[in-house]
A and B are shown apart, each in its own frame.
Chain A
Amino acid sequence: MKATSPGRPGLSDSKIWTRLQPVFTPLLTLVVIGVPLWLVVATAGKSRGEALQPDLSLPSKWQLWDNLKAVWTDGGIPAGFFGSLLVVIPSVIGVLIVGSMAAWILARRASKLTAALYALAISGIVLPPAVVTLVLLLRQLGLAGSAVGMIGVYMGIYLSTVIFFVTGFVRTIPASLEEAAQIDGAGPVKVFVRVVLPLLRPVLATATILVCLYVWNDVFYAFFVVGGRLETLPLNLFQVASAGLYLNNWHLIFAYVILMSLPLVVVFAIAQRKIISGITSGAVK
C-alpha cells in the first residue's frame, strides 16, 4: 500500500488520536478478531470432555496434535484436500484464460455488439445462478456429480467477475504496445500470449485470489452439484460438523476448521502486500 505523505491529513491523525491509537487498535483487533480465533485454537486443543462446552479457557492439557490427527483420518482431510484441489485448480486456470481472452476483445473493440456482449458477460456478477435447473442440465449432459461438471459450474459463475476486472484493466493499457508486435507480423494469438497476458499479471493475481477464495470455500453449489459423490474440504467439514453438533465434538470441528483454513491464510499472509494492492487497484479506480 502506498505510503500516506505527510501532507495528507486523515481523520485518524489528530494529536489525541495518534497517542491513543497504539493502544486502541491492538485492543480492538484482539477483541473483534482475536477472541473468535482464540476460541478455535483453544477448543481444538482440548479433550472431548473439556470441549463439550466451548469457551475461551486454556485447555488443561494441550492435545491439538491428537485432534488434528483424528480429523485427518476420520474427517477425510486428504480426500477432501485432493477433491478441493481437483476442482479449484482447473476452475481458476480455465476461468482466467478464457475470461481474459474475452475481456481483451471486449475492451479493444468498441461497437454496439461488443457493448451488449459485455453487459451480458458481466451480468453474472449480480444475477444469481439458477442452481436447481443447473443440476437438471448437468444430469442431461451426464456431468452430474463429476468434477468436470463442478468445474464448469464454477467457471460459469465466476467468468463474469474475471471479465469485469480484466476488461477494466485492459482499457488502461495503451494499445500501442500491441501494435508494435502487430507491425512485426504477429497474429492475434501470438499478440495475446506474448504481449497482453504478461501485461495482465497484476489483475490476474487479484482475480486468482478472489476466485480461489470463493471456490475453495464454496459449499452451496457443491451441495447441489456433487452432493456426496466427490469430497471437498467444505463438504467434509459440513459432515463432520453435522454429526459433531449432535455429538458435541467441538474439538474436532475446530481442528477441522484450522486444517481447512490454514492453506489459504498462509498463502495470503505471504502474498498479502501484492494482493492488497491488486484488489484495491482492481475494484476502485
Chain B
Amino acid sequence: MQTINETASGPEPESAQPVRPHRATKKASQKKPRNRVIKRTHPMWFLAPAFAILLVFFFLPTVFNFIYAFTDWSSFKAEINPVGTDNFANLASNGTLFRALRITIVYAVLVAVFQNLFGFLLAVLLERDTKINRIARVFFLIPVMMSALAVGYIFQALLKPEGSLNGLLSTLLRHDIDYAWLADPTWTIGTVAVIHAWKWMGLSMLIYLAGLKTIPSDVLEAGKIDGASRWLMFWKIRFPFLAPAITFNVATSLLGSMNGFDIVQATTEGGPARTTEILNIFIYRTFGQGLFAQATTMSLVLFLIVALMAFPVIGLLRKREQIL
C-alpha cells in the first residue's frame, strides 16, 4: 500500500493517505519568507482559547491526579496530608487494585472483539445499497443514539431469570431455561461486554462500510480480470484495504470501553460479588463514600494503564496497515 513511506514521517494517528504526499511536498517548499507570511495569515493566538480550556479542564486535573493520589484527601478530614504510596499499597494489599485492573482489561478486550466482529459482519451483510439494507442500517444505528444507561435498563429487563430472553430460548429449545445472565460470577462480564458491543456495533458497521467503499475500482477490476473468485477477492484484495477502518475501530472500542461506566452501572452495578467492577465503577463508588484519595489513586491507575495500552495498540495497528 502507498502508506508505507508516508506514515513513518508524521506523528498524526489518522491515516489520510491522499493528504500525506501533498503535505510532504509543501514542507520542502516552506522556506523562511513563507514562514513570515504564515505568521501573519495564521496567527498562533487562534490556538489560545482551545488550549486555555484544555489546560484548565483537562491538563491541570491530570497533573493534580499525580499529586492527590499520594495524599490522604477525604471528606472526613479538614486537611490534606501527603502519605506517600500508602494508597497504592492499601489497594494492592487487599486485592482491589489488581482485581479492578484485570476486570477492566478483560472487559475492554471482550468489547473490542465483539463490537468489531458484529460491526464487520453487519457491514459485509449490508454492503449492497438495496432499500432493505438502507433501512436496516438505520435500525442498527438506533442503539448508538440511545443513552447507554437506557440500554443497560433494557437489557436488565430482557436478561432477568424470568425475562424475555430465557422465555424465547425456552420456546425454541422446548425446555425451561431460567439462567441468570446478570448474576453469574464467571460469565456476567462477557454478557455485559456483549451488551456494550450491541450498543456500539452500528458505529463500527458504518466505519467498516466506509472502508469497503473507499477501495479503488481499478484494483477490483484487475482482480476480476485475473479471474479471482468472490471469496478470494474479498480476503486478498478488499479486506487488506480495511486496515485503516480496523485501526480506528479497534482503538476506539478498546480505549472507549476502558472508560466504560453506564452500561455496567445500569445492568449489574459491579456485581455479582464485584466481578464486573471495572475501574470507573470503583472510582464512582469510592468517591461516593468520601474516600477521595483512593478514588484519585484508581483514576491515576486508569490513566496510566490507558496510556500504556494506547501507544502499543495504535502502533501495532498502524504497522499492520503498512504490511498489508
Contacts and interface: CB of A to CB of B under 8 A. Distances in A.
A281 B64 contact: no
A122 B314 CA distance: 14
A217 interface: yes
A188 B46 contact: yes
Contact of B127 (A10, A264, A272): A10
A285 B16 contact: yes
A206 to B, nearest CB: 11
Interface stretch (B130-138, B174-182, B183-191): B130-138
A242 B203 CA distance: 29
Contact of A133 (B142, B150, B211, B299): B299
B207 interface: yes
A205 interface: no
A157 interface: yes
A145 interface: no
B53 A152 contact: yes
Given A11-B124, A26-B132, A124-B54, A171 B16 contact: yes
A109 B23 CA distance: 11
Interface string A39-71: 110010000000001111000000000000000
Contacts, number: 331
Looking at B56, B143, B224, B251, the one whose CB has the most chain A CB atoms below 10 A away is B56
B132 A21 contact: yes
Interface in A110-132: 110-111, 115, 117-122, 124, 126-132
A108 interface: yes
B214 to A, nearest CB: 7
B142 A33 contact: yes
B262 A219 contact: yes
A281 B211 CA distance: 10
B100 interface: no
Chain A's interface size range is 35 or more
Interface residues of B, number: 122
Interface in B211-250: 211-215, 217, 220-221, 224, 230-231, 233-234, 238, 244-245, 248
B107 interface: no
Contacts of A171: 16, 19, 22-23
B23 A284 contact: no
Contacts of A182: 41
A40 to B, nearest CB: 6
A220 B261 contact: yes
Contact of A283 (B12, B35, B40, B210): B210
Which applies to chain B's interface (DSSP): helix, strand, loop or mixed? Answer: helix
Given A9-B220, A168-B14, A133 B157 contact: no
Given A102-B47, A280-B209, A285-B17, A8 B157 contact: no
B49 A219 contact: no
B41 A178 contact: yes
B296 A133 contact: yes
Contacts of A136: 61, 64, 68, 73, 292
Contact of A213 (B142, B144, B266, B299): B144
Given A102-B46, A238-B149, A134 B57 contact: yes
A133 B129 contact: no
A61 to B, nearest CB: 20
B125 interface: yes
B243 to A, nearest CB: 10
B295 interface: yes
Contacts of A127: 62, 303, 306-307, 310
A36 interface: yes
17 contacts: A9-B230, A21-B132, A22-B130, A25-B132, A28-B136, A36-B155, A55-B163, A108-B38, A127-B310, A128-B306, A188-B41, A217-B147, A257-B154, A264-B146, A269-B138, A284-B210, A284-B211
